[in-house]
A and B are shown apart, each in its own frame.
Chain A
Amino acid sequence: MKKQKEKICTIIALIILFILVYFAQNRLDAYKIRILNLGAIYVTLGVSLNLIYGFTGQFSLGHAGFMAIGAYVTALLVLPPYYKEVSFILEPLIWPFTVIHAPFIIALFLSGLFAALVGFLIGLPVLRLKGDYLGIATLGFAEIIRVIANNLPHITNGALGIKGIPEFTNLWWTIGVAVVTIYIIKGLINSSYGRALMAIRENEIAAEVIGINLTNNKVMSFTISAFFAGVAGGLFACLLTTIDPKAFMFVMTFNILAVVVLGGLGSITGTVIAAFLYNIFLEYLRPIEAGFNLGPVHFPPIPGLRMVSFSILLLVLILYKQRGLLGGIEFTWGGFFRFCNKLFSNKKSTEGSAS
């Protein structure tokens, strides 16, 4: 009964989201849509990082690498063959990539699969490492992927990057992918696999003793995480329409990590909120840099001031909210109704006392 009720609530919420996306896509200006798109892509990235770090407890800094793989695969698949001939100036594109062409959805899926495959191959040896060492090793792999992308001009066009990627990404795609990601990862976490992952996070030795296969579970979690990072990379490529190796530096991973930590480790709700807030803040701090008037005082435009204020904001947040915005609390319909009831009954009691 309760389950049924929750299902209905979820469906209603999704319909509301659907209507909101419809209005957003048609009514908002391009700039706002772009921010929302970025936010939704960060949701996908953040939730997938949360799976490996927040729920499995494996410190991974390789997300930018998987994103890069996804972005390049999508770009090579959706670019029309004519465009490929024009844009590869350094060295012509090699054979299979010159002719293959796929619709966006298949390209996204393939980029996820390819990123997952690489994630699997990396994860097998690397996931034996623990803690910070794992983080450093995955960071190393992400950098290696970037350097390779920089040095294969006949596939990735080298440092010039790929330009003129068709702009397929819109709010339907980004929000849709984010919802699917949350649905799948949430389902995974609530399954027996998810319990095993959380057992590994709490204590590896204890988990091993009760018969959980550490390697299999860790590699599975890592591979799934890489899959969604790859899909998000594909969306990212078709949002920006131009990608180059520099876009996938360590800063990219850090942004995702910051979203996950600021939202609260192990909380998907927190990641979703933090992902949007992060991008909104990052964009709305731009006027600071352009110069502004505060009463009679005029501040001249100073390049770099935006990121300075952003890093201060980040520092203040992490210093005062050490466990993230939500601190691991998850949104549930039960909690939501209790909260509404409380709000409602409070109102009633104050009304009663007033009259």
Chain B
Amino acid sequence: MTINLLLQNIANGLSLGSLYALIAIGYTMVYGILRLINFAHGEIFMLAPYFLYFGILIFHLPWWASTIVAIGLTAFTGMLSERIAYKPLRDAPRISALISAIGVSFFLQNLAVVVFSGIPKSVHRPIFFTKIYQFGEIRIQSTLFASIGVSIIFLSLLLYIIYQTKTGLAMRAISRDIETSRLMGVGVNRAISITFAIGSALAAVGGILWSLRFPQIFPTMGMIPGLKAFIAAVVGGIGSIPGAMLGGLILGMSEILFVTFLPALSGYRDAFVFFILIIILLVKPDGILGIKVQEKV
């Protein structure tokens, strides 16, 4: 193994990890507030590149405008799914909400088959995203820089919203105790809607960057990245936003490095991810940055 190859793969791992981190945040925010595993998040992720694709193809929008529209529409879809499918179940057993989430996931995925058709489509990539930079022997595609850079920008924006604004304060309060926050006059429904909108918007950014890296989009493309991002959220400590970022990076890195060091076992790539998950859960059941909640007797 040359040092160049290692560096190359670390760069790949970073870029994959930052995408996982973007998606993982949606899971972790929703779980932190509603204690709900939002299985539809992977489908929200899948919608964004489709919106982008059709924005360019049908409405002839320039690339940047279509991206903004796609992120907005995806955020709206996420918000709408919460209103329709999760809000009525807020006082129901938690498993009902989970079934509802999986129902939404089925629905969006198959709706995509009906509306967009199941044939994979190749997305348009602006020239500056296909450029390849050469550093000595390492070749890096500019999407890699873009995914890392865009992730950093959006994640710092998110941290600002969560820790510096009033809405962020409301979200943090709700995740502590939803009933008490309601009594204190926090607009719970509004804050939850905003949570879904932010989470979905980040998934949309992730989805669009994903489609630039792997330029084929199809209705089931959200399943595997969604599941892995969810694992990333759990590994980092579900409910914790820095944890989701960390988990995403760990997962992306270890996945790439596993394939690099053990190419013979590359078929076990997905199993390895789950293996990490189980090991971390057994050693530290609340994830790396999760807070241990002591059960009262």
Interface flag for A273 (CB, 8 Å): no
Interface of B is mostly: helix
Interface flag for B216 (CB, 8 Å): no
Of the four ranges (under 10, 10 to 19, 20 to 34, 35 or more), the interface on chain B belongs to: 35 or more
What's the minimum C-beta distance from A206 to chain B, rounded to whole angstroms?
A: 9
| Tally of contacts, chain A with chain B, CB under 8 A | 117
CB atoms of B89 and A137 under 8 A apart: no
> Which residues on the B side are within 8 Å of A334 (C-beta)?
none
CB atoms of B277 and A137 under 8 A apart: yes
Chain A residue at minimal CB-CB distance from B297: A205
Interface flag for A318 (CB, 8 Å): yes
Known interface pairs A136-B234, A140-B277. Does A147 touch B111 (Cβ–Cβ under 8 Å)?
no
Question: Which of the segments B1-9, B95-103, B147-155, B178-186 contacts the partner chain?
Answer: B95-103
Question: Which of the segments B55-63, B129-137, B243-251, B265-273 contacts the partner chain?
Answer: B265-273
| 25 pairs, CB–CB < 8 Å, chain A vs chain B | A59-B95, A125-B282, A126-B278, A129-B282, A130-B285, A132-B35, A133-B234, A137-B281, A140-B274, A144-B271, A147-B270, A205-B297, A254-B102, A257-B99, A258-B102, A261-B96, A265-B95, A304-B114, A308-B107, A308-B110, A308-B111, A314-B103, A314-B106, A315-B103, A323-B93
Of the four ranges (under 10, 10 to 19, 20 to 34, 35 or more), the interface on chain A belongs to: 35 or more
What's the minimum C-beta distance from A204 to chain B, rounded to whole angstroms?
A: 9
CB atoms of B106 and A261 under 8 A apart: no
CB atoms of A307 and B100 under 8 A apart: no
Interface flag for B127 (CB, 8 Å): no
Interface of A is mostly: helix
Chain A residue at minimal CB-CB distance from B36: A132
Interface flag for A213 (CB, 8 Å): no
> Which residues on the B side are within 8 Å of A312 (C-beta)?
107
The answer for the CA separation of A117 and B128 in the assembled complex, in Å, is 55
Interface flag for A148 (CB, 8 Å): yes
Chain B residue at minimal CB-CB distance from A309: B110
Chain B residue at minimal CB-CB distance from A313: B103
CB atoms of B281 and A311 under 8 A apart: no
Bitwise, B178-219 to A at CB < 8 A (1) or not (0) is 000000000000000000000000000000000000000000
Bitwise, A317-346 to B at CB < 8 A (1) or not (0) is 011001100000000000000000000000
CB atoms of A151 and B268 under 8 A apart: yes
CB atoms of A261 and B99 under 8 A apart: yes
Bitwise, A286-323 to B at CB < 8 A (1) or not (0) is 00000000000000001111011011101100110011
Interface flag for B104 (CB, 8 Å): yes
What's the minimum C-beta distance from B101 to chain A, rounded to whole angstroms?
A: 10
Chain B residue at minimal CB-CB distance from A147: B271
> Which residues on the B side are within 8 Å of A319 (C-beta)?
85, 88-89, 100
